[in-house]
């Protein structure tokens, strides 16, 4: 594809700025750059415009620097709220891109910012607050706070986990406080019953032995009377 050399009269992102001499495709220059007055052919007569273009470029860059410096201070105080669709567990459906953030800045704060100035290493896929880096100018950087919220309420999964703990402990054979109280009451009742039974046997035994002794003492005098008669 044939190339042609042109002088840029306006700043074109990705190509160059005013007064830059660049080589482009001949068809691109003929069909787009020249009709839009974004460039002129490189000729001796057009080279005389380079100094005027350089001065205009310096003025433009100074104005952009001041504008972007003020914008950096302003957006640092803002919170860009973005509503997204998410499940009950908080998992997002889709992601938030630089283009979405640029659209919300325009919609919420009437700030026109090229999405290429919003620096995202990867799209946002989680709810909550995110701090986004902005490359506003070659010498100016800023930060923007983005808050991603769900359109539907998110339920907390902590409550079901607490209820599942009790059945697991019962399966492992651990006793509840009520079972421990019943077992302790049974343990106390058993010794009392045993003591009571021993006391009854101890009391019954002496009562049986006393009449036997009484019979022996009663028979003794009769034997003595028989011996006296025999004499």
Q: What is the pLDDT of residues 86-138, one digit of tens each?
A: 888 888 998 999 999 999 999 999 999 999 999 998 999 999 999 999 999 88
Q: Do 67 and 131 belong together in one domain?
A: no
Q: Are 130 and 118 in contact (CB under 8 A)?
A: no
> Rounded distance, CA 72 to CA 137, Å?
10
Residue 224 lies in a domain: no
Confidence grade of residue 209 (pLDDT, cut at 50, 70, 90): very low
Asked if residue 127 and residue 102 are part of one domain, the reply reads: yes
Where is the domain boundary, 38, 73, 108? Answer: 73
Dihedral sign of CA atoms 216, 222, 225, 230 in order: negative
Residues 143, 79 contacting (CB under 8 angstroms): no
For residue 97, give its domain range. 74-150
Which pair of structure tokens corresponds to residue 96?
Answer: 């938030």
Phi-psi region of 189 (alpha: psi -120 to 50; beta: other; left: phi over 0): alpha
CB 147 within 8 A of CB 129: yes
Q: Report the CATH number that the domain containing residue 114 is assigned in CATH.
A: 3.10.430.100
Q: Are residues 78 and 135 in the same domain?
A: yes
Judgement on whether residues 64 and 18 belong to the same structural domain of the protein: yes
The tally of domains found in the chain comes to 3
Whether residues 140 and 95 share a domain: the answer is yes
Residues 82 and 137 in one domain: yes
Q: Rounded to two decimals, what is the model's pTM?
A: 0.55
Residue 146 belongs to some domain of the structure: yes
Q: How long a stretch of residues is the chain?
A: 231
Residue 105 lies in a domain: yes
Contact 144, 134 (CB under 8 A): yes
Q: pLDDT tens for residues 15-48?
A: 999 999 999 999 999 999 999 999 999 888 888 8
The rounded mean pLDDT for the chain is 77
Q: Say how far apart CA 39 and CA 18 lie, in whole Å.
A: 9
Residue 211 within any structural domain of the chain? no
3-state DSSP assignment of residue 143: strand
């Amino acid at each position: 594809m044939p190339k042609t050399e042109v002088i840029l009269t306006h700043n074109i992102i990705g190509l160059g700025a005013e007064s830059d001499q660049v080589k482009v495709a001949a068809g691109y220059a003929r069909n787009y750059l020249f009709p839009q007055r974004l460039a002129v052919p490189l000729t001796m007569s057009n080279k005389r415009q380079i100094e005027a273009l350089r001065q205009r470029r310096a003025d433009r860059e100074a104005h952009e620097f001041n504008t972007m410096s003020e914008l950096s201070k302003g957006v640092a105080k803002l919170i860009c709220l973005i509503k997204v669709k998410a499940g009950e567990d908080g998992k997002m459906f889709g992601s938030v891109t630089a283009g979405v953030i640029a659209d919300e800045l325009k919609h919420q704060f009437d700030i026109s910012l090229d999405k290429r100035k919003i620096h995202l290493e990867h799209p946002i896929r989680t709810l909550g607050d995110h701090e986004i880096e902005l490359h506003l100018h070659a010498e100016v950087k800023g930060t923007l706070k983005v808050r991603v919220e769900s359109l539907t309420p998110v339920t907390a999964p902590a409550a079901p986990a607490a209820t599942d703990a009790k059945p697991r402990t019962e399966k492992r054979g651990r006793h509840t406080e009520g079972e421990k109280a019943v077992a302790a009451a049974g343990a106390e009742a058993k010794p009392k019953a045993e003591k009571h039974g021993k006391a009854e046997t101890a009391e019954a035994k002496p009562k049986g032995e006393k009449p036997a002794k009484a019979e022996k003492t009663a028979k003794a005098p009769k034997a003595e009377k028989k011996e006296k008669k025999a004499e």
